[in-house]
Structure formats: C-alpha cells, structure tokens
Structure 1
Amino acid sequence: MSVKVAAIQLDLVYGNKSTNTATLLALIDKAISSGARLVVTPEMGNTGYMIPNPEYAYLVAETLDGALMSQILTISKGTGSLICVGFCEIDPNTRALYNSAALVGPDGILLHHRKLHPYVCDPLWAADGDRAPGVVDTDIGRISVAICADVDYPETTAIAANHGAEILALPTCWIAERAPSPVWMARAYESGIYLIAADSCGNESGFQFSGGTSILGPTGSIIASLDTGSGIVMADIDIAALRKARSSEVPESSLGAYRKYPDSARLQTLRLVDRGAAFDLLRPTYTWDSSETDWVRRRLNMDPQIPSAPVQVEVAQLDRDTWFGGSASWISQERLAQDVSQAIRGASGPRGGTADRLLVLPDFSSTQSSTGESIISDPAKFARDLANGIGLGTGLAIAAWSADCECGSKRQTVNCFGIDGLIGSRVASSEPRCACGKEPDRLRPFETRLGAIAALWGPEALSPLPARLMALNGAWITAISADLKQPAPIPLEKTEIPHPSPIRTNYDPTGFHLMRQRGAENNTFTAFANTPSPGGFGFSGIFSSELDAAKLFEVSLGPEEVGYTSTTINFPATDYSTQCTVDKPMLKMRRTQHYIPLVSHSHWRQSTLMPH
C-alpha cells in the first residue's frame, strides 16, 4: 500500500498571525492538490515559536474548535486528506496554555497532542502536556503525533511503537542542530516507523531554525527533504512493506534490523517488562542534586558511580580474520586470546599519561568450533589470558562473546575483565529464556573502581531502552561490543541554513551515527567497538555525552579501517561534557509520569511478540 504524504516548511513572519495562516493554508491546499493523503505542518505554524510570556500567548492562542481548526477541518472534509497542524492552544475550561498539535480528518479531530517535553521558550508560557502520545487507525496506516523536543526522549516513540504506530507526524521548530536531525533518524530507525518532520527555516528573535523538513524511512534513511525556504516535501511511503518487515516476511536487507529484530523498541520493552527492569524507566532518578545522591551512596557503603581520576578510553576495530582466520576448525580459546592480544598490541602503539585505562573490544561471538560449540569454554581463564596478553595492566576491558550455559545452551554474554579475570558478566537482555529456564540478566551497569560502566552487546544498542536503563542506574559511559552490519552512518548534505558557529554545515559523511545518539540522549560517553567492512560496518569511535554542537568531540575510525583510537576523559569533571555525565540533564527532563504505557502489563500480555 503506497501512500503519498507531505510535510510543509515555513519561513514564518513572527507576530503576523494572519499572514502566516494564509501561507500555511495555501501550502496545505497545494500539497493536497498534488496528491498528498497526509500533510504535516510545523510547530506553532501560524504564530511563530518564540512566544515570550503568557500575556502574548493569550493574544494568539486558539481553542481546539477555534478559527484555525475550523479552516483545517473544512479542507479535510472537502478533500478526504488528513492534516496534522501545530498551534498555540488555550484550554477553555482551565485557561491553561499549551504547545499543541492536532491530527484532523474529514470527521473531526482524530488525535490531540500537547507537547510533553518543553524546550527553550516553552517554559516561559506553556504548561507541559498532560497525556502520553496516542495512536489512531486511519485508512492510510496507524498514525501517532509528537512535537519537536518530544523525540529527544526515546520513550516517546517507544510508546507509539508499542501501540503499533507506523507513521509519526512531527511538527517542529528545530534549532541548535542541522536538519534532517540525527535525532529524527534515530527515532525512525529504532521504532521502525515513517517519520514526517515539518520544520521552520527562518530566524525569530535571533534563534535560527534548522529547516531540513523531511520524510524519513523506517531505517532512518532520508526519503525526501528540503533544506531551506518555504515549500513542500512529498514522497510515497509503503506501509505494506513496513508491515511485512515487522512480521519477518521480507529479507533482512529490505528494512534494516526488522527481520531479525522485529519492531525492536517493542520487543526490547516487552522483554524488559517481563523481568521487571523496565519499571526503572518510571523512576525520576536524576531529579535530586548529584552531591546528595553521592552522600547517600557513601552512607550505604556503595561504590562511586563516577571515576575520581582521568580515564583513557580506547576502542579497537578488528577484522574477524584476526580471530577467525577463515576457518573455525582449528581455533581454540588460547589461540583466540593470543591473536586478539597481538592485534591490539600492534594497533595501539605506546600509551602516554597516567590515566586509568578502559578498553572496549568488538564482539567475538562468531567464534565457535566446527561442531557449533562456543570456543570460549572457560570465560574466567580467557579473560585473564586476554587481559595479560594485551598488557592491560591495572586497566579494565569490555567484550562480548558467546558462552555455554550449564545446560548446554549457547548464551550471548557481555563481560568486564582485568588481569585478575572476570569482574562482571551478564547474559544479553535480547537473549531468550534459556532451555533450563534461566532468564537473561537485569540491565545494570558493572560497578567497578572506574565507576559504573554500561556494557552492551551490539544488538542491544539498536533499541534505545537498554542504554537508557543503564544510564538511569548511574552509568557514566556506555561501552558497546559489536559485530554489526547495520545501521551504517548516514551522510548529511551541505546546508545553506545560516547556522551559528560551530554547528556543522558542510557535507558530513557520518551525520547520523546511532551510537553517537545513544550517548547524547543519556548523557553518557559512548565507546563503540565494531568490526570493519565487509564483516561489520566499522565506524568505531568514542562519542560525547551531550547534544550541544559547541561541545561535541569525538574520535572515530573509518568503515574498513583496522585499528585503534583513544581519548582521555578528565575526572573530576573539568568541562561541560564530563559534567553532563554527572548531572545527566537529559534524564532530569524526562516526563516519567507519561511513560506508564511502556510497562503496562495489560499491554504486553496481549502482545504476539511476547517471548514464550
């Protein structure tokens, strides 16, 4: 089922509501005349976004049955098309003001969403939204609505995906980052949805909007976009192909991860709920001052979660041939440790400074004997041999490998180790229940002398929730041991939007990197170790803990490069990025009261995706 959809981009005239409304309605008419069955318009699309106070908002606000909605409803009734419009709302009963959006159909308002997560000007005049995102069945697919900064928080789209959303309409006035935004791409990819982002492109009161209005596919790919200027973006989307991908009826290459990991946001959520771990999503963990939390931890004799001295973080990107050699028949645990150690020593070169060391290695799960058994039969000994072979010294390392359960089942594990052997090991959360009845381990960071380390297996990082749960439990770094073929980074073209420095405006070959987003949305540094092409997609790296382009730093490797990269993270915190790992502002701004649908028993018990 192919459907034509459209997104409108506006260069708004701030303070001129009548002109903006006329422009908006004309573009809606034009998009529908060109065949669009669904049209999405920008956030606050007839008033402008930079409302300074409630007094001004009361002058421009409208009720849900006001003049703008009446005009939109008339168009929808006359054409049969659906229209999602962003507007400044006043509740007639409470007089409360909201940054709102409504999905309008021929029979009236299908969805009404109030922005949950405020940003920049919203706190100056608007109340927070009072309901979780909804999903509605329409003749073109299942649609949900979010507004701008709502998608900075993966819980928003996870809720929509849990309820079967296939299209996310996103009115936005995006700033401080080029667009199409990597945040939009991450939400589209991990939830397996079409995301239609309608943005502003002008400048209001010195705030430059990002333009880049776009229609994204369920792998995060850019189907169509408009860089700058008012206009319309149109594309055909294939809901039937998406439904086939979610039901595992198409080859894995057709729609990214969704054959092997169908509807991964839902799958991960349900498995976490089954063990109770997802209830951590509801805890407002970082609303308390971090110094008070540290005091409590000390009184309870708990380990510190943040390092007390600089840490040198390192990632290795190693080819499978390093340990696979084209044949598994001769490989042994001892030989594997020896070959990997030799490769690391050859790639890393001399170490400088006195910082503690944290090394992240790629996933060794492809190692198995000719009979299919795991090569690593004694994980504790393998960890010691590898640590000593690498010359880890007093440092720690993270790596994933396959190990056999006592009942003989093969289990995917993520491990933290040093020269004395294993410090911690857990079965990956995406693993099914073992043949002997054992469940995967709870998602908790490893508590070490280098602080709380979130160690993830590559496929776990495809969903936003494992990294989120680790961060909520105190992790300062997310270490990902991977052997992933996708999602490869997506390049972003040069933009003509006059962004202020230092926002990147030139062509960026790795504009979207999912693992970069994992760190920024959780305020953890991210160390991602992958295998290079053609086995994996490469692009291993160490990424910043925050979204601010002015503070962004990273070191990374290319798609085919075999090698090693490192950086030193200074503790105690001496810069904004490091301080973010302590304060976690992105976690503080979550609206946990609206995330209950993520952990609703009544939902997961009815799901066909619930593992048996």
Structure 2
Amino acid sequence: MSTKHKVAAIQFEPTMFEKERNIARLLELCEQAAAVGARLIVTPEMGTTGYCWFDRAEVAPFVETIPGPTTNRFAALARKHGCYIVVGMPEVDEDGIYFNSAVLIGPDGIVGRHRKTHPYISEPKWAAAGDLHNQVFETPIGRIALLICMDIHFVETARLMALGGADVICHISNWLAERTPAPYWISRAFENGCYVIESNRWGLERTVQFSGGSCVIAPDGQVTAVLDKGDGVLMSEIDLGAARARRVLGETVFAQRRPELYPELLTDTFSWNPRDFFGLYGHEPWPAGKTSKVGVAQFAPRDDVSQNLDEIAALARKARDEGAELVVFPELALTGLADPATSAQPIAGPATDGLGRIASELGLYLVCGLAERDGDLLYNSACLVAPDGGISVYRKTHLTADERGWATAGDGWTVVDTPIGRIGLLIGHDASFPEAGRVLALRGCDLIACPAAIKGRFSSSHAGTQVDQPAPIPTGPDPHHWHHFRVRAGENNLFFAFANVVDPERGYSGLSGVFGPDTFAFPRREAIAAGGTGLATALVDTTNLDSVYPTNVVRRKDLVSMRMPHSYRGLVKAVANNY
C-alpha cells in the first residue's frame, strides 16, 4: 500500500436557504479535486446548508438522514473517482434529533460519521451534542478521524483519535474570530504527530465573519498549503509514514505518556461554581488573587553553579526593577545542561540556599530548574522559592529519551498557593503533553510556571490575511502567530509562564513568554522574549469582582468547564490501541 496520497481541502461560502445550490457547488469543487488526483477531499462544516440557524423550526426543511439523498450524490462521485470525501451537513436521526454531523464517504459508500460532540454557542439552538465519540476509520488510504470546529478546542478529542491510530484528522469548521490557519489547528497536529486537513468556510452570514484559511498541516506543525479567502480547492500530499512515527520534536511522545498520572482528566471540577468547589470543606481554598507582574528570563546556563547564580541574580534584579513579583528561569538553569549527573545538587543545599538569598533580598518568588540529587537518585527538578525562604519542588514526570539516561521520573504534580494565585509547575518536555497542563487546570491553577530547555520549532509566523475581520481582531503579519505554549495557556484558561534556554548555536531558540488565558482576546495579554538573553514581563490578573460566580476567565475557565469527560476514558488506559 502506498504511504503517500494527494489530499484536498475545499473552501466554500454556502448560502442559507439554498441547499441545492450549495450541494451542486460542493460537488463541482470535489470533482475538480478528484480530477487532479485527490484521494481524500474534505469540505466545510454545514457546507450543504449554511450555519447560523435560529432554531429547529428554521433548519428543519434542510436536515437529512445519513445515508440519504445528499450522501448518495457524494457517494456517486467517490465511486466514480475511487476517492474519499468528508461532507458536513445537518443530520436528523430516527428519533427526530438533529445533529451537526460530518460523514466520511468512500468508493463503496458511507465509511462512518461524526456528530459534533462539543457544541459552540449556536448549536444548542437546534442541535443535540453528538453521541459518537472518538472514532477512527480504517481505509486503504490511512486511518481517518473526523472532528467538527469547536471539538478541536479541547485537547482530549484529537488526543484520543491519535491514540486510536489516526493518521489524519479531517477537521471541518466554521471558524471565526481570529486569523487562520488557527493556532489550535496547528497545535493539534503538532502535539499528536498527525496530519490535520482543515476545511473552513469563509464569508459573512447573519453578521458573522468566518475566517477561511483552509489548509493542510503536517505532523511537525508545518502548514504545507493554505487558501486565505474565497471558494477554491487546496491540494497537498500526506505521507502516512510521517504520521505513524508519532514524534514531537524528535521524541516518541506516545511511548512516554504517563496515564497513571492522568485520572483527573475524567473529572469535571468546573461543572459547579468553582468558588464553591475549590472551597469545599474548607480544604485548599483558592488564594484571593491579585494583579501582579510576572517575568520569564532566558539565558544559556553554564556548567558552573556560582556563575549561573550570578546570572539569575542579575536577571531577577532587573525583573524586580520592572515590577515583577514572580520570575521563572529555564530548565536546569541553576546546574547547567552539559552534565546534569555531575552537577546535580541536593534540595535543600548550597545552590538552593543561593536562590533563597536572591528571593529574600529582592522580595520575589523564583521558579528555577536544576538537576537534583536525592541520595542515589537524580531528578530533573524545578523549585519555587518564596521570599520567606520556603521551597516547593516538582520533579519532571515526562522525560525525554536523553534524560532517561540519567534522571528518574517524578511521580506527581506540584501546585502551590501564593498571593499571586495558584501556581502549577511543569518542566520543558512535560508541556509537550496536553494531559499535563489539563490536570493542573482542573486543580484550579491560575498560572503554570514552566522552566524549559526545548530545541526545535514550536512557533511560526503569519503573513497576514485578506479576510475583513472586525476590530480588534488582527489581520496583519505576525512573527509569532502560532506559539505552541500560547495555545497551552488558552486551552486551559490560565496564564502560562514559559522560560526557555536561549542558545541558538546549540539549537535552543528561546522565545520565552508569558501568555494569557483567553486565546480570542485581542490585543493579546502577553509578552515574548524574542531576542537573546533577557526578560519578558506581563501583567497577570487573578482577581474577581465580589460576585457569586467568578468574573475572571482564569477563575471561570470557560473552555475547561465545557469539556465532556465521560467520553475521555481512553486517555487513562495503560496501553493505547496501537502502541
């Protein structure tokens, strides 16, 4: 079986109340794609009818069963060309329930379907949440999964499909409110090591501006082809071998998962008023919260602890002068990268005592990475040092292949309550695992501090869009349109303080940043250190008005509260289906 296949994404602006016109145009575009060799063709969400329906009564004349007249027409085209087509349409089942659905059609007819499981604000006006979860369909051109628009906001959906063996996620959408290709789309391909074929609609419907930007995204996060606006056919190629390697920044991440640490993914801690939940029984109530300035520092650690302490002190002093109350330093910043087994230090010990003196003198909270020695065991650790000298320690739970040669993996999470807010700790490669950030969000963290020493590409630019987005959505060029760790912040509705090593000669790009909790809030609440050694600082607000429910998104966690954990059981299985 060939591992390389031509694929196509269709971009299209449907017209409401003109179903026959829409279907005819979609068939025409699919015919164009098939005629030039596309084996897999993906069309937009609700492409047969349009999207912005007022209620069940208005959409009722346009819903169909699957199979039905519309799927039969696309099946004839698939049979003619020996290809596979994904069609988005409103479905009615045998009980009269409506769904926003995607159907995969092949040369022999319907292969499978997906019903949108995570509704956007508009679906509850007419459609039920989907009841067909996390399916992967085996075909001669690879293992294909389907997601619809809002589904991909949630780390669990794409992850479960990748664990089920998906080579390609066909994501059909009516995406809006930002430049596209959307950072969420890119991160889902990147963190799961699979292809995403994105078919988005464009145009204006009932005052809603859709973003276009249909594209194909490779397993390394590279956008291989994109169509900014207008109807059209976008062609690219996929290689199943690249997807089945399942590598993220060179690491075999699916073999490195820690399902025994993920059972909280099946909980729904934000389904109740979080102000009540996190104060229940008086156990570990949230800190009150405040507005603070948080900094991330990037530099190239040396092999000498005293020299690193001097660098940390200088950067911490500069951050304090800029008003910071918390500063995060890179992974292994205290002990150096070259030979952690030799430079490892005890906690507490002379090295962490040095951090304590800096924190006390400057009145700062410091988060710093180091190689830790505890008896005969070594850990890749991070410590949060308080101004009063208190130390909280986290030991990295997800080790890279190289780290497994010297370090023992940690066996739990660290969450610390401070006046700044509730802070969770991750280290570098941990943040490649969406499960890790999600657990900390479910524990009510306001901020994740992440010392890192990550090589490779985790950010990309955007040349700008011609789509006429309403203000304040940016449309111009952006050198950091996609930053994977900005996505980590937004998907978990928390602040993410990412402090990376910067040493270009050794492959460390820096790009440290403090990222805000709302992906779709513009201008962005963030700061990025785009140069060499230096700092980035940003305001972090964990306050709330005196109200019954949280008023701040970092405490409300809108996206986290909309999860569907009853369908996430596969995330905690010890062995995934295909690994």
Q: Distance in 1 between matches of 2:465 and 2:379?
A: 46
Kindly indicate whether residue 282 of structure 2 is the aligned counterpart of residue 300 of structure 1: yes
C-alpha spacing 1:12/1:449, structure 2 compared with 1 (3 Å): same
Per the alignment, residue 224 of structure 2 pairs with 223
Is 2:5–2:141's contact at 8 Å kept on the other side of the alignment? Answer: yes
Q: Which amino acid aligns with 2:314?
A: Q
Given residue 268 of structure 2, which amino acid in structure 1 is its aligned partner? P
Q: How far did 1:487 drift?
A: 2.9
Q: Cα offset for 1:226?
A: 0.3
Q: For residues 321 and 414 of structure 2, what CA distance do their matches in structure 1 show?
A: 33
Residue of structure 2 equivalent to 1:251: none
Q: CA deviation at 1:131?
A: 2.4
Change (3 A) 1:191 1:366: farther
**Residues 238 and 6 of structure 1, relative CA distance in 2, 3 Å threshold:** same
Count matched residues.
570
After TM superposition, give the deviation of residue 18 of structure 1 in Å. Answer: 0.8
Secondary structure of the residue that 1:209 maps to in structure 2? strand
Where do 1:452-463 residues align within 5 Å? 452-463=422-433
Range moving further from structure 2, 546-555 or 198-207: 546-555
Partner of 1:506: 476
Find the aligned partners of 1:434 and 1:228 in 2 and give their Cα distance: 47
C-alpha contact (below 8 Å) 1:338/1:389 kept by paired residues: no
**TM-score for both structures, normalised by structure 1:** 0.88
1:305-384 maps to which residues of 2 (within 5 A)? 305-318=286-299, 320=300, 323-324=301-302, 328=303, 331=304, 333-345=305-317, 347-348=318-319, 350-352=321-323, 357-364=325-332, 367=335, 373-381=341-349, 382-384=351-353
SS of residue paired to 1:232: strand
Q: Give me the whole-angstrom Cα distance separating, in 2, the residues matched to 1:475 and 1:37.
A: 45
Give the SS at the match of 2:211.
coil
1:406 aligns with 2:375: yes
Partner of 2:562: 589
Question: Is the partner of 2:449 in helix, strand or coil?
Answer: strand
1:520-531 aligned within 5 A: 520-531=490-501
Q: Is the 8 A contact 1:488 1:537 kept in 2?
A: no
SS at match of 2:38: coil
CA deviation string 1:108-159 (max 9, x = no partner)? 2222100011113111100001121211222221111100110000100100
Q: Is the 8 A contact 2:328 2:367 kept in 1?
A: yes
Q: Helix, strand or coil: the match of 2:44?
A: coil
Query: How do 1:196-207 residues align onto structure 2 when only pairs under 5 Å count?
Result: 196-207=197-208
Q: Report the Cα distance in structure 2 between the residues aligned to 1:308 and 1:154, rounded to whole angstroms.
A: 27
CA 295–240 in structure 1, closer or farther in 2 if over 3 Å, else same: closer
- Give SS of 1:380's match: coil
Separation of aligned partners in 2, 1:367 and 1:170: 44
Number of the residue aligned with 2:67: 65
**Distance in 2 between residues matched to 1:279 and 1:29, nearest whole Å:** 46
RMSD (Å), alpha carbons: 2.6
Q: For the Cα contact (< 8 Å) 2:176–2:210, is it kept in 1? A: yes
Q: Give, as a single letter, the amino acid of the residue that structure 1 aligns with 2:321.
A: P
| Cα displacement (A) at 1:451 | 3.3
| 1:37 partner letter | R
Q: 1:565 aligns with which of 530, 536, 539?
A: 536
Describe how 1:451-490 pairs up with structure 2 within 5 A: 451-490=421-460
Confirm or deny: 8 A CA contact 2:345 2:371 kept in the other structure: no
Find the aligned partners of 1:436 and 1:553 in 2 and give their Cα distance. Answer: 38
| Aligned residue type for 2:65 | T
- What is the CA distance between 1:386 and its match in structure 2? 1.8
Query: Offset of 1:435 from its aligned partner?
Result: 10
Counterpart residue type for residue 167 of structure 1: V
* Contact 1:342–1:389 under 8 Å retained in 2: no
Tell me the SS of whatever aligns to 2:112: strand
Residue in structure 2 matched with residue 6 of structure 1 by the alignment: 8
Q: Which residue of 2 aligns with 1:87?
A: 89
Asked if residue 386 in structure 1 is aligned to residue 358 in structure 2, the reply is no
Aligned to 2:398: 430
Distance in structure 2 (CA, Å) of the matches to 1:203 and 1:82: 29
Contact 1:477 1:525 (8 Å CA) reproduced: yes
Equivalent position of 2:467 in the other structure: 497
Task: Write the distance in 1 (CA, Å) between the matches of 2:320 and 2:554.
Answer: 29
Q: Specify the alignment match of 1:213 in structure 2.
A: 214
Do residues 579 (structure 1) and 552 (structure 2) align? yes
> Which amino acid letter does the alignment assign opposite residue 561 of structure 1?
G
3-state secondary structure, aligned to 1:373: helix
Match of 2:159, SS? helix
Deviation digits for residues 327-362 of structure 1, max 9, x if unmatched? x3xx2x3443234223443x436244xxx8111111
Question: What secondary structure does 2:552 align onto?
Answer: helix
Cα pair distance change 1:506/1:370, threshold 3 Å: closer
Shift of 1:505: 0.3
* Over 4 Å off, 4+ runs: 368-372, 419-422, 432-439, 574-578
Counterpart AA for 1:362? P
| Cα distance, 1:436–1:207 mapped onto 2, change above 3 Å | closer
Q: Secondary structure at the match of 1:146?
A: strand
Structure 1 residues 526 and 372, CA gap change in structure 2 (3 angstroms):
closer
Q: Flag structure 1 segments of 5+ consecutive residues without an equivalent.
A: 247-254
Secondary structure of the residue aligned to 1:452 is strand
Counterpart in 1 of 2:40? Answer: 38
Deviation at 1:294, TM superposition (A): 4.3
* Distance (whole Å) between structure 2 residues aligned to residue 555 and residue 187 of structure 1: 23
- With over 3 angstroms needed to count, the CA separation of the structure-2 counterparts of 1:577 and 1:176, relative to structure 1, is farther
- Name the SS of the counterpart of 1:177 in structure 2: coil
Q: Which letter does structure 2 place at the counterpart of 1:360? A: V
1:107 maps to what in 2?
A: 108
Letter in 1 for 2:319: S
Distance in 2 separating the partners of 1:370 and 1:152:
38
Change in 2 beyond 3 A, CA 1:404/1:43: same
Provide the C-alpha distance between the structure 1 equivalents of 2:230 and 2:492, rounded to a whole number of angstroms.
33
CA deviation after TM superposition for structure 1 residue 230, in Å: 0.2
Q: Is the 8 A contact 1:82 1:106 kept in 2?
A: yes
**CA–CA distance in structure 2, aligned partners of residues 295 and 366 of structure 1:** 36
Distance 1:500 1:204 in 2: 14
2:488/2:496 contact within 8 Å kept:
yes
Q: In structure 1, what is the Cα distance between the partners aligned to 2:271 and 2:542?
A: 22
CA shift for structure 1 position 486: 2.6
Q: Aligned equivalents of 1:510 and 1:207: distance in 2? A: 26
Give the distance between the partners of 1:44 and 1:109, measured in 2 at CA. Answer: 17
1:286 aligns with 2:270: yes
Distance 1:286 1:521 in 2: 14
In the TM superposition, residue 372 of structure 1 has moved relative to its aligned partner by: 5.7
Q: Which runs of 5+ in 2 are unaligned?
A: none
Question: In the aligned structure 2, how far is the partner of 1:301 from the partner of 1:64?
Answer: 50
Any idea what the Cα deviations from partners look like across 1:516-568, whole Å, max 9, x if unmatched? Answer: 1101000101111112240411211111101223363211111x332112223
Q: Tell me which moved more, 285-294 or 18-27.
A: 285-294
Give, in whole Å, the separation in 2 of the partners of 1:488 and 1:220. 8
SS at match of 1:440: coil
Q: Shift of residue 439 of structure 1?
A: 5.9
Q: Distance in 2 between matches of 1:423 and 1:371?
A: 24
Secondary structure of 1:132's partner?
coil
The verdict on how the C-alpha distance between 1:583 and 1:338 changes in structure 2, with shifts beyond 3 A counting, is: same
